[in-house]
A and B are shown apart, each in its own frame.
Chain A
Amino acid sequence: MSKTRRLSSAFLGLPYIFWAAAFIVIPLIMVVWYGLTDENGAFTFANVAAIADPAHSKALLMALLLSFLATVVCFLLAYPLCMFLVELQKGSDSFLTMLLIVPMWMNFLLRTYAWQSILEKTGIINTALTALGFAPLRMINTNGAIILGMVYNFLPFMVLPIYNALEKIDKNVINAARDLGADGRITFLRVIFPLSLPGVISGVTMVFIPALTTFVVSSLLGGGKILLIGNVIEQEFMVAYDWNLGSGLSLVLLIFIIINVVISAVTEKGEEAKA
């Protein structure tokens, strides 16, 4: 009996194992392969070391800087938002939170493109400023515009995990802290925030990685003046036709992603241990 059951579950698992091998593991091996060989197929470390070229390292640093700032802004916007949402929606459903996901149904290229019309020199904000007698602002094609685009696109990824974490917190725990004499600030620092930390970490990684590697936001809102590492990789493949270099630089990004996976695995384990 138990033998047949194991057989049938292996039968269930096989398609997925095959799929994961063919479409997750092998493609990644190919990136590693291309990244560590030259155009003749000989082993080289040059494509990865190329990250040290001034143009590439500047693009990487710029991407790190902008995505870091975007993540911080996302966090600062999302955390209070989630606290207020949990408080105000208490007992009822999470309708408002769902409304924050709905914009994702409008294509993200279009949404980002719409910011051009808002920010540009003849755009909505500057037209309004000029009409009111103020000097127009230089907003489009700046670092600020790119950060704004990142925050706008990835904010829901920060909101959802934090909201879920905050919503799960047992109200009795908070009340108990209050009863034991903790004031609002201490309750927050000692009880609420630590309990929401897994959500925060998951939100941070879900915002930081796409922001770090984007090439779309920078090309739509940066006017081609700001080169991020995502742009470099995209252009190596789609313009310069150098797959080896493109793969080598992707490997550098993989390092950041591995750090990310490790952090989320560690926090997941911590959570499991607690449970």
Chain B
Amino acid sequence: MKTKYKGLKRLYIALIFIFMYAPIALLIVQSFNSSKSRGHWGGFTLDWYRSLFTDASIGEAFTNTILLALLSSVISVILGTAAVIYMSKLKKSPRTILMGVTNVPMLNADIVTGVSFMLLFLTLRIQFGFVTILLAHITFNIPYVILNVMPRYRELNPHIYEAALDLGASPVYAFFKTVLPEIMPAILSGGLMAFTMSIDDFIITHFTAGAGVHTLSTKIYSEVKLGIKPEMYALSAMIFVTVLLLLILVNRVPAKADAHGKEAV
């Protein structure tokens, strides 16, 4: 099939990409701007990248953000995968109910989820802090894991696992040898989605954070009104460029290797 209007279609895609990336480009430019106020170019500088590493409060917010994302995605992967195995053995109606409950944090408005957590923690008199944010993040991450792992798990051939059992493997051993490798890609993509959601969340964190505990999101929100510290631009630019480079690297290098392999054959 011949592709018509290829140029126009490419142009359209390019325009959307410009729309998506223009603010990001602006933020990156800002991170090299020696003037603190936005919109005024005061000359090129790397100062913000230098002072970034001595700014303890941004460092702490960053640590919290990454730690939350790592812990919440790992815990939600474990809980979520176990839940998938359990749910796939349930009868239809309990499964539908449990799936319905599972979907709630994903479909619910962030503000309602955040508010409901705040009310829960206040009633239980749990002090707001890192732990409350972590509990909330795990909760809204689990559905992403389940939704990724569930279809993959249901596609599995159950006979392989049973064959392993018949051959004398313990259920745990059989699981790690036959089931886990098969569902690993789904677990990883669910985990990555969870990680991304946790990093990008502001609203739920806003309602569950306590005194002196900041993530990058809540820190930025409190700075927006007073003027964002340029170090924040520098940090975001670094995170962004790293992710972008990783993606390009991962995507382009194997593709080329493949091509070489084929040529050789």
Residue of A nearest to B233 (CB): A110
| Closest B residue, CB atoms, query A29 | B116
Binds A, one of B43-51, B180-188, B235-243: B235-243
Closest to A234 in B: B111
Cβ–Cβ < 8 Å partners of A13 in chain B: 82-83, 85-87, 90
Q: Does B152 contact A (CB under 8 A)?
A: no
Question: Is A169 close to B, CB under 8 A?
Answer: no
A110 touches B220 (CB 8 A): yes
- B202 on the interface (CB 8 Å rule)? yes
- B86–A16 touching, CB < 8 Å: yes
| A85-98 near B? 1/0 per residue, CB < 8 Å | 10110001101101
- Among the stretches A51-59, A190-198, A210-218, the one at the interface with B is A210-218
Of the 9-residue stretches A38-46, A76-84, A130-138, which lies at the interface with chain B? A76-84
Q: Are B23 and A265 in contact (CB under 8 A)?
A: no
Contact B112 A12 (CB under 8 A): no
Q: With A and B bound together, what is the CA distance between A4 and B165 in angstroms? A: 13
- Are B82 and A106 within 8 A (Cβ)? no
Residues of A within 8 A of B85 (CB): 9, 12-13
Q: How far is the CA of A107 from the CA of B104 in the complex (A)?
A: 24
* B23 nearest CB neighbor, chain A only: A114
Within 8 A of A (CB), among B173-218: 196, 199-200, 202-203, 207, 216-217
Residue contact B24 to A111, C-beta cutoff 8 Å: yes
Contact A210 B110 (CB under 8 A): yes
Main secondary structure of the interface of A (DSSP, over half): helix
> Within the complex, what minimum Cβ distance (angstroms) separates B16 from chain A?
5
What's the count of A-B pairs with C-beta under 8 Å? 217
B109–A95 touching, CB < 8 Å: no
Contact B103 A28 (CB under 8 A): no
On chain B, the residues within 8 Å of A128 by CB distance are none
Known contacts A31-B119, A152-B19, A237-B118; A8/B79 CB under 8 A = no
In the complex, are the beta carbons of A205 and B87 less than 8 A apart?
A: no
Instruction: Please tell me the number of chain A residues within 8 Å of chain B, measured between CB atoms.
Output: 84
Report yes or no: B112 in contact with A213, Cβ–Cβ below 8 A.
yes
Q: A93-B255, A118-B26, A215-B111 are in contact. Are A16 and B240 (CB under 8 A)?
A: no
Interface set, chain B 59-114, CB cutoff 8 A to A: 79-80, 82-83, 85-87, 89-90, 98, 100-105, 107-113
In the complex, A167→B57 CA distance in Å? 45
CB distance from A273 to the nearest CB of B (A): 14
Contact B120 A23 (CB under 8 A): yes
Contact of A30 among B108, B110, B120 (CB under 8 A): B120
CA distance A115 to B22 in the complex (A): 9
Interface of chain A residues 210 through 256 with chain B (CB within 8 A) = 210, 212-213, 215-216, 220, 230, 233-234, 237, 243, 246-247, 250, 253-254
**Could you say which residues of chain A place their CB within 8 Å of the CB of B111?**
213, 215, 230, 233-234, 250, 253
A103 B105 Cβ-Cβ under 8 A: no
Q: In the bound complex, how far is the Cα of B89 from the Cα of A177, in angstroms?
A: 40
> Are A105 and B240 CB-contacts (below 8 A) given A6-B89, A16-B82, A237-B207?
yes
Cβ of A130 to closest chain B Cβ, rounded Å? 13
* A105 engages B199 (CB within 8 Å): yes
Judging by beta carbons under 8 Å apart, are B251 and A30 in contact?
no
Please give, as numbers and ranges, the residues of chain A lying within 8 Å of B239 by CB-CB distance.
105-106
How far apart sit A255 and B32, CA to CA, in the bound complex (Å)?
47
A25 touches B243 (CB 8 A): no
Cβ of B149 within 8 Å of any chain A Cβ, yes or no, is no
At the interface, yes or no: A109 with Cβ under 8 Å from chain B?
yes
Q: Name the CB-closest residue of A to B202.
A: A109
Q: How far is the CB of A88 from chain B (nearest CB, A)?
A: 7
Chain A window 111-151, contacts with chain B (Cβ cutoff 8 Å), 1 for yes, 0 for no: 11111111010111000000000000000000000000000
Given known contacts A96-B13, A99-B247, A107 and B216 CB-to-CB distance under 8 angstroms: yes
Check B119–A109 contact: CB distance below 8 A. Answer: no
Q: Quick check: B3 and A237 within 8 Å, CB to CB?
A: no
Q: CA–CA, A220 to B217, complex, Å?
A: 14
The reply on B20 being an interface residue by CB < 8 A is yes
Say how far B23's CB is from chain A's closest CB, in angstroms: 4
Contact of B101 among A25, A81, A84, A230 (CB under 8 A): A25
Task: Name A102's contact: one of B9, B10, B119, B243 (CB within 8 Å).
Answer: B243
A72 within 8 A of B: no
A62 at the interface (CB under 8 A from B): no
Q: A12-B82, A105-B243 are in contact. List 8 more A-B contacts (CB 8 A).
A: A24-B105, A84-B13, A93-B255, A101-B196, A111-B27, A205-B107, A230-B109, A261-B104
Q: List 7 A-B contacts (CB under 8 A).
A: A24-B101, A81-B13, A102-B244, A106-B240, A209-B107, A230-B111, A261-B100
